[in-house]
Amino acid sequence: MCAAREAGITFLDDARYDDETGRAPTPTGWSEVVFGELFRAAGWAREEVIVANKLWWEHWPEEDANAELDGSLGRMGFDHVDLIYAVAPPPHLTMAELIEQVAGLIRSGIARAWGTCMWTVAQHLEALALCEQAGVPAPAAAQMVTSLVEHRDPDDPDMHRAFVRGPIALVASFVLAGGALTGKYLRGEHGRVDDNESPLNRAGKELAPKVVALAEQWGVPPSHVAFAYAFSHRHLASVLFGARTPEQLRENVAAYATFEALDARQLEAVRVLAN
């Protein structure tokens, strides 16, 4: 967190997670408690940082959006979030109800804007139409998988129209394909997709040698090649990444300087990897 602050990062993405270890002091949301404590310990000025969190709809309708976010704010020690993502509605929550719920958060001031998280293109189009009909704020951001491995939704022509119509800004996630595109698995290192042989994770591991080879030609870390693809998206607002060390964070931040220095031939080489 201190390294992020020193690097000039001003967008922090937090979320409530359930404890899967049996060791956390609370069964859910300990991630938010730790985030709030580290935020204050690092000396962040709240008004200078954009903080995002998520609505999981895990206990809807017994727990509505206000109650869910209020619990998150209490654990973080904040009085509002700047951006609240809504994950795709479960079957028993209609899109109209979801929009009414998030609009209420914005009216109350505990969320300043809302966004989507891993929605389909069709869901974005439906939501935009309903927001226009109801006269309420449209989603300002869309967190979507945007990587060399998977980029169908943010590149969909209909999603392009949704980005413009909103307007909606893209927040790219899974840019490093779970770490596979850093080449870590080629080096024999371990990570969170070690035992997860989903098609997406397999694709990341299969593409990694090409990413590493291109990075070696350019004399940059493989992560910089992977980030370059997301940076080139016309509707991009930010790229999400997790970092285990200050050194890893600084390496990731430096990827933007690499991207700015790429010429047209190099950018085309990145795009070829995505095809």
Residue 191 has pLDDT above 80, yes or no: no
- % the chain with pLDDT above 90: 91
Number of Cβ within a 10 Å radius of residue 113: 18
Alpha carbon of 177 to those of 252, 271, 274: distances in Å? 14, 16, 12
- % the chain with pLDDT above 70: 97
The pLDDT, as a whole number, for residue 42 is: 95
> What does the angle CA 33 – CA 54 – CA 105 come to, to the nearest 5 degrees?
105
The pLDDT, as a whole number, for residue 194 is: 57
The pLDDT, as a whole number, for residue 195 is: 61
Q: Taking residues 43-69, what's their average pLDDT?
A: 97
> Coil, strand or helix: which one is 15?
coil
Which residue has better confidence, 194 or 220? 220
User: Residue 163: which pLDDT band, with cuts at 50, 70 and 90?
Assistant: very high
